[in-house]
Amino acid sequence: MTTQHKRTTIYLDPELHKALRLKAAATSSTVTELINDAVRESLAEDAEDNAAFIVREKEPLISYDEMVKRLKKDGLI
């Protein structure tokens, strides 16, 4: 299967670029693959966070002061 790629230009810190090149060589990978994997992972984490927000959106809100009182009552602070 042929995968279409979209070309883009990004500007990396020189030390970050060097680290990516070294990791790519060490893992028989490419810098592009490493960046794609990192972006996919970041987006997956965002999706997990959004799902957690949706699950909890109907929970009642409490004030900061109330939360501190609860933590003190439970001996957590």
**Residue 6 within any structural domain of the chain:** no
**Could you write out the DSSP letters of every residue in 16-39?**
HHHHHHHHHHHTT--HHHHHHHHH
**Residue 43 within any structural domain of the chain:** yes
- Find out whether 14 and 24 touch, Cβ atoms under 8 Å: no
What are the pLDDT digits (tens) for 48-57? 999 888 988 8
Which residue range is the domain that position 47 belongs to?
A: 14-73
**Residue 29 within any structural domain of the chain:** yes
Domain count for the chain: 1
DSSP 10: -
Q: What is the per-residue pLDDT for 23?
A: 98
**Residue 4 within any structural domain of the chain:** no
**Residue 47 within any structural domain of the chain:** yes
pTM score of the predicted model: 0.64
Q: Is the pLDDT of residue 25 over 70?
A: yes
**Residue 3 within any structural domain of the chain:** no
